[in-house]
Structure 1
Amino acid sequence: MTRIPSKEEILEWISQNPTLATKRDIAKAFGIKGSARIDLKRVLREMESDGTLNKRKSSRADREGLPPVGVLQIVDPDHNGDLWCRAIEWRGKGNAPRILLIQRDSDPAVAPGDRILGKLTQANGEDYDYTARIIRQIGHNPQRIVGIFRQGHEGGRIMPIDKKNDKQWIVPAGAVHGAKDGELVEAEQSGSKGRMGLPKARIVERLGDPTAPKAVSLIAIHQHGIPDAFPDDVIKEADAAKPAGLKGRTDLRDLPLLTIDPADARDRDDAVLAIPDEDPKNKGGFLLWVAIADVAHYVRPNSALDREARKRGNSSYFPDRVVPMLPDRLSGDLCSLHEDVPRACMAVEMKIDAQGNKISHRFVRGLLKSIASLAYEDVQAAMDGNPDERTEPLLEPILKPLYGAYEALKRARAVRQPLELDLPERQIVLNDEGEVTSVAFKERFDAHKLIEEFMVLANVAAAEELIKHKMPLLFRVHEEPSQEKLESLREVAQASGLNLAKGQVLQTRHLNQLLKQAANSDQSELINMSTLRSMTQAYYNPENFGHFGLALRNYAHFTSPIRRYSDLIVHRALIKAHGFGDDGLSDWDIEMLEATGKQISDTERRSMLAERDTTDRYLAAFMSDRVGTELAGRISGVQKFGVFVKLDETGADVMVPIRSLGSEFFHFDADAMELFGEKSGTVVRVGQRVTLKLTEAAPVTGGMVGEIVTIDDRAMPKGGRGGKRGPAPRRKAASFKKKAAKTARKVKRTRK
């Protein structure tokens, strides 16, 4: 008996073959012959009567107009943020009709590439032809994956490279795209499940040798969907840009501004200057200048450059490459404050007193010429008494006043008490072939802290200025920790013999007191990591909820518009507030402010995850020749399934599965973050010193696995053998009772 396709299958086929939609075409496609055509005709009539398909004479696609119901594909939103659709069945001779999607709150979320069954209404007198409302989704933008292709008899499989995902994908013979066994590939889901219930995929791009050192960041870029190629219209727009002139700007070229950056800086977007204040009423005070690249001059609202920058949200930095928010013509040239080259800028002059308090500030749109491009290390060496030929002439007139202003800002910081975490930044050093040569922790100089303090103050000034002018903007928001996370931190502190104040409104100074208690002790790293984990994640929002970590009420990112879209929005707001030009905040910018905040907060997290995955893979590659050796570390996390150990030498995290702790059963206490051996009584908790044997290091996934050899200088017990799991020891029973009492108190308070 011939199988008649379902209505969904018919719609899907029509959506993929809009020019072959007659009854004869459909019958041929599904192999329907003879009397079975009668049943197909019945199904098509039902689809026409319920509006799923429009009845036509010669075909099932209207040549001059669109049916009241049809299959549509979502396309990219325009500069106004409106979603548009493409009619899959359009066969007209002229341009395809423009279809605006009208969404209701109850509609499912859709994205470019998704297919819907839509109800179409002609739009007379508008600049579009139809409006569409969603009846239901009939397809999604195909899921994309990155993995290793393994060739088989009929196509092959894609093996995962994500250490958190072990799902394989079947690749049919016709969807291999020429990939060879062992190659890194990008693929997309192509249909229903294949052999053994595995999903099907088709390969869309071959990415080369997965073991090649320079493939590490490429994997993360593709895996996290970070756009790494600029569209032609964006490049064309960037290439057409010309250096800004002095017209309409304040001439700052006589100010001895200079840049201080990492030695390998890819862009230079801030220049600084400190001048001792000659006002006798401000003895010991300074005039601070912070000048930032004027990206808004080149990236105009709703331009191709602007749309691409908003889409990317930020630049993403990897050990071997950067995926910039803006093309190199801007990020590396016109918007980079190179030495001795006139460059457009947005600048703020801030007057501070001897205690580092900001007395006043003023913003200008100017033209500067940096007198020097210095590295942090060179500036610090000069201040430590070892200047070189570049820094020596700058030492007295420029560098010492900068450090004098920094000392004043330190005094204000000590009063404000922002969160003082001590978490050294890891640095992965690569050779020319992209191989890891060393992993170390970056040294932090006063030169780094000086620039950070100047930037923080400039960001505060920008937020305050826009609030004063009642201008819309995106604040950098960092909310205080939740009570649940604080309670977990408090329990970790108590288990370490430390104390976190309770029963009062939490301030950063309370956390700093905890960190100070732990300083220079074996618990220092544990308390710093636990404090960091208790924090909420910062984000961008048009509403001002303050910045808890910095202990600041008003804070907005202003200082890095080359690499952050948020800063570009703040620049535009300042331009509009002061009438600096016609390239300020647009009506669309204002209307979409909340959506933009969410978009760039999401892209920021995406970059962080991609950068973290890349670091994990490089570390695994670096450690792969150390498999079988014993390494020192500290337990940084405890979960029901096992333990995480942070290695002293590299800071790498190694997973210790719970099965490797011994044959006994381990109880997991989430509040205390510890495992408790049922037979041996062994306690495994965060912060303990361990010696670990590395048993696995997989560069492709970035995963590392090990076994604990010693814990707190004692051999790790293997536990009892055999037998059934007995009742929890008294220690655990008491712990469970404590938790039950705590729950009861919460319920009692709630009922009141």
Structure 2
Amino acid sequence: MAREDFLEDFPDTAEILRYIEDSPTALDKRDIARAFNLKGAQRRRLREVLQQLQEQGKLEDKGKKKLAPPDRLPPVGVVEVVGLDEDGELIAKPANWSEEESAAPPRIYLSAGKSSRAALAVGDRALAKLERVEDGVYEGKVIRRIGRSPRRVLGLYEMTSQGGRLRPTDKRAKQDYVLNPPDAAGAKPGELVLAEVKSYHPRMGLRDVRVIERLGSLENQRALSLVAIHEHGLRTAFPEEAVADAEAAVGVGPKGRTDLRDIPLVTIDGADARDFDDAVYAEPDEDRKNPGGWRLLVAIADVAHYVRPDGALDREAKARGNSAYFPDRVVPMLPEALSNGWCSLRPREDRGCLAVWMTVDAEGELRAWRFLRGVMRSAARLTYEQVQAAMDGAADDESGPLLDPVIRPLYGAFEALLTNRRNRGTLELDMPERRILLDTAGNVAGIEPRRRLDSHRVIEEFMICANVAAASELERLRQPCMYRVHDTPDPDKVEALREVLEDLNIRLAKGQVVRPATFKRVLEQAAGSPHATMVSELVLRCQAQAVYSPDNLGHFGLALRRYAHFTSPIRRYADLLVHRALIRGLKLGDDGLTEAQAGQFKAIGEQISMTERAAMAAERDAIDRMTAAYLSDQVGTLFVGRVNGVTRFGLFVTLIESGADGLVPISTLPDDFYVHDERQHCLVGRRWGRRYRLGETLTVRLAEADRTTGGLVLHLAEPDDRDEERSGGAVEAKSKHKKSPPTDYKKSGNSKKENLRRTPQARRARVRRRR
């Protein structure tokens, strides 16, 4: 058998696991080999795969093969210390256990080995030999320490009955730190500080810290975005050399460039935008061979002219990867002299640009394109609201003269592009965003849904068209391309979705090739039903995460075979690389892509994908903290929310009015034994049959709002609350949950026996037996 046939015929790991899972009895290697008709070398490969699965904890490690419980761990693994139990024993969890896991992590008790307990502290990581004691409980023997807890901690300085403490702003942090007044550097209780870890108290299980930077009081809401910036490690200060290079920049003239200054290009951005890096123009195509077609011009700031490969600006831009945007500030990829200066397409000022003329037909299909390096002069800086108002018959002094020659043609071309979007079967998911409104002091004045206008979609479709043209041109030129990749959904997630949809009488054929149009049909079938929100959430969770890569896997969500980011080099390093590749391929200058950078595309793609995720997480955390600060004086108020996540430890609920997310702990639900049904995404009460499901609408009361972490704790509204009105734009809150008879056991997904087994007394008895 040829190697290619061997690889092609051998089942993948997911197929083997599914076969074992579906088998009513345990299987041995011969059973599996017969089922897949494996011979000779393939059987040896099967033995290796099964061994790897056992080592990963996915199969039982003794006897015949069957799936391990969800919390089964490998015999040796990396663990992270998370605290001490009541007997002073170190407790750990698997280091790679995600906060998003639906199940709680197994509890690992680290026994004393060659390394004493004092050698490990909360936050430390170690390689440990693991032995299963019972379901969800392991004993671990430390082999060696492989990592220490963070050397710097951002947190809130507080005074307690036990002395000074630093409460970390990171939601994932499980314990406070000791901050003695002599180490506070003058900070007062209530201040936000950045501290350095000093030492460890074995008796207390806590670390000592000293303050190295004071960031002010959290009462000043401007500090909340600083928390997110520090916590996610975003770079805020530019190297002096990079700043000097930016401030030394000068404008460009028309020499050696295409002169576009007579074309009325306009920028269209948000009212609060400070940098303008893309301008647009459209006109009907006069070519008789393209009836109803359009010519589009998209001009982008020529960042490559100022940021040369391997220079100080380039090194810093690559390290940052992208700009990060917060309600009260921007952490830019480039210094302000460029981002708000020469690389911002200000109205009525000459600017260098990299532009593309595109021709589309009446149905928006891209037929031709031509890239050029030019000089332009923006005719106007317009806002989305301004453009939409002009189209709706309320033009102002600035948009009025541009309505017929500029704005109407943009909408005409947009209609063609929109037709193409529909024909492709682009996946359309409704993902509402919230907008934080600030007052003059920088405090949150309100939260509202971000409006989605046709003018937003005009710019979006023009940018998509230019991005497709850039990827297509680089392929034609055989130049490296930093694609924006959105891979097809994971088959296992699609199968899980199919099982849920089957119970809702929504058809999703098993084993079919999944396309965006497939999900579109599913959403259409669910539309108008009580399950519409849940189905939309599940479809969203099926999607892969978009990343940057030199390997073209297409863009699933947009239903495009090739796609690259070209339109925002002022704020995304990927776009700058695409510009450089075009400059080199089209011989538009000596500042194009270098061979050295071309050879680093894979590593750069991974790095800027990581920085993008960090920036997005920081932006989200800042919004969460500002939202918590805004809601902190509304504790006790009733809100209507929708369940957006179901776990063993409670319900995650999104408040409809503000978009804020909070947790309803399982311990606060009406008394019952709650079982987490992962397949149906719900919590089910064994005794009284209550069911809390993904997408369900609930009335909740705000119990806690912590601006330090951005966390909200919610409780279900009691029956007595049903006639209560919430102050300030109040809605009548009605609870549909009946209060159950009182019970004398804990509210959890565990059995009564399991709850008794987890009591401190039983735990101490087991510790004594093991010793």
- TM-score (ref. length: structure 2): 0.74
Amino acid at match of 1:248: G
Identify the residue that residue 35 of structure 1 maps to in structure 2.
Answer: none
Secondary structure of the equivalent of 2:175?
Answer: coil
Comparing 691-700 and 332-341, the one that deviates more:
691-700
Identify the residue that residue 744 of structure 2 maps to in structure 1.
Answer: 722
Q: Map 1:531-680 onto structure 2 (within 5 A).
A: 531-680=539-688
Q: Which runs of 5+ in 1 are unaligned?
A: 1-135, 730-752
Identify the residue that residue 324 of structure 2 maps to in structure 1.
Answer: 316
Distance in 2 (alpha carbons) for counterparts of 1:368 and 1:245: 10
Displacement after TM superposition at 1:496 (Å): 4.6
Distance in 1 (alpha carbons) for counterparts of 2:702 and 2:750: 31
**Deviation per CA, 1:625-661, whole angstroms, max 9, x where unpaired?**
2211221122111100001111121121121000001
Identify the residue that residue 760 of structure 2 maps to in structure 1.
Answer: none
Does the alignment pair 1:424 with 2:432?
Answer: yes
Distance in 1 (alpha carbons) for counterparts of 2:149 and 2:171: 24
Distance in 2 (alpha carbons) for counterparts of 1:620 and 1:153: 26
Does the alignment pair 1:392 with 2:400?
Answer: yes
Secondary structure of the equivalent of 2:663?
Answer: strand
Displacement after TM superposition at 1:524 (Å): 3.2
Amino acid at match of 1:340: R
Q: 1:241 aligned to 234, 246, 249, which one? A: 249
Q: 1:252 aligned to 256, 260, 264, which one? A: 260
**Residues 682, 717 of structure 1: 8 Å contact kept:** no
Aligned alpha-carbon RMSD (Å): 2.4
Displacement after TM superposition at 1:715 (Å): 2.2
**Residues 484, 563 of structure 2: 8 Å contact kept:** yes
Distance in 2 (alpha carbons) for counterparts of 1:682 and 1:180: 48
**Residues 691, 710 of structure 1: 8 Å contact kept:** no
CA gap 1:724/1:298 in 2 versus in 1, 3 angstroms? closer
Identify the residue that residue 154 of structure 2 maps to in structure 1.
Answer: 146
Identify the residue that residue 489 of structure 1 maps to in structure 2.
Answer: 497
Does the alignment pair 1:705 with 2:717?
Answer: no
Identify the residue that residue 3 of structure 2 maps to in structure 1.
Answer: none
Displacement after TM superposition at 1:540 (Å): 0.5
**Residues 709, 716 of structure 1: 8 Å contact kept:** no
**Deviation per CA, 1:45-93, whole angstroms, max 9, x where unpaired?**
xxxxxxxxxxxxxxxxxxxxxxxxxxxxxxxxxxxxxxxxxxxxxxxxx
**Residues 681, 693 of structure 2: 8 Å contact kept:** yes
Does the alignment pair 1:465 with 2:473?
Answer: yes
Q: 1:300 aligned to 294, 305, 308, which one? A: 308
CA gap 1:303/1:330 in 2 versus in 1, 3 angstroms? same
**Residues 680, 719 of structure 1: 8 Å contact kept:** no
CA gap 1:442/1:727 in 2 versus in 1, 3 angstroms? closer
CA gap 1:152/1:231 in 2 versus in 1, 3 angstroms? farther
How many percent of aligned residue pairs carry the same amino acid? 50
Distance in 2 (alpha carbons) for counterparts of 1:728 and 1:193: 34
**Residues 679, 719 of structure 1: 8 Å contact kept:** no
CA gap 1:197/1:723 in 2 versus in 1, 3 angstroms? closer
Displacement after TM superposition at 1:536 (Å): 1.2
Secondary structure of the equivalent of 1:281?
Answer: coil
**Deviation per CA, 1:334-357, whole angstroms, max 9, x where unpaired?**
000010000000000001111111
Q: 1:445 aligned to 448, 453, 459, which one? A: 453
**Residues 151, 180 of structure 1: 8 Å contact kept:** no
Distance in 2 (alpha carbons) for counterparts of 1:524 and 1:157: 47
Secondary structure of the equivalent of 1:598?
Answer: helix
Secondary structure of the equivalent of 2:622?
Answer: helix
CA gap 1:520/1:383 in 2 versus in 1, 3 angstroms? farther
Amino acid at match of 1:389: D
CA gap 1:577/1:716 in 2 versus in 1, 3 angstroms? farther
Q: 1:689 aligned to 697, 705, 714, which one? A: 697
Displacement after TM superposition at 1:433 (Å): 1.2
Secondary structure of the equivalent of 1:203?
Answer: strand
Q: Map 1:335-354 onto structure 2 (within 5 A).
A: 335-354=343-362
Distance in 2 (alpha carbons) for counterparts of 1:155 and 1:663: 38
Displacement after TM superposition at 1:256 (Å): 1.2
Identify the residue that residue 204 of structure 1 maps to in structure 2.
Answer: 212
CA gap 1:246/1:194 in 2 versus in 1, 3 angstroms? farther
Displacement after TM superposition at 1:140 (Å): 7.4
Identify the residue that residue 335 of structure 2 maps to in structure 1.
Answer: 327
Displacement after TM superposition at 1:154 (Å): 10
Secondary structure of the equivalent of 1:466?
Answer: helix
Identify the residue that residue 118 of structure 2 maps to in structure 1.
Answer: none
Displacement after TM superposition at 1:453 (Å): 0.5
Secondary structure of the equivalent of 2:204?
Answer: helix
Distance in 2 (alpha carbons) for counterparts of 1:229 and 1:559: 25
Distance in 2 (alpha carbons) for counterparts of 1:420 and 1:579: 39
Comparing 718-727 and 453-462, the one that deviates more:
718-727
Secondary structure of the equivalent of 1:635?
Answer: strand
Secondary structure of the equivalent of 1:530?
Answer: helix
Distance in 1 (alpha carbons) for counterparts of 2:217 and 2:643: 35
> Which is higher, the Rg of structure 1 or of structure 2?
1
Displacement after TM superposition at 1:491 (Å): 3.8
**Residues 268, 384 of structure 2: 8 Å contact kept:** yes
**Residues 679, 720 of structure 1: 8 Å contact kept:** no
Displacement after TM superposition at 1:141 (Å): 10
Amino acid at match of 1:393: P
Distance in 1 (alpha carbons) for counterparts of 2:255 and 2:746: 84
Distance in 1 (alpha carbons) for counterparts of 2:701 and 2:402: 52
CA gap 1:727/1:384 in 2 versus in 1, 3 angstroms? closer
Identify the residue that residue 161 of structure 1 maps to in structure 2.
Answer: 169
CA gap 1:696/1:155 in 2 versus in 1, 3 angstroms? closer
Aligned length: 594
**Residues 625, 707 of structure 2: 8 Å contact kept:** yes
CA gap 1:397/1:623 in 2 versus in 1, 3 angstroms? same
Distance in 2 (alpha carbons) for counterparts of 1:537 and 1:317: 20
Amino acid at match of 1:718: S
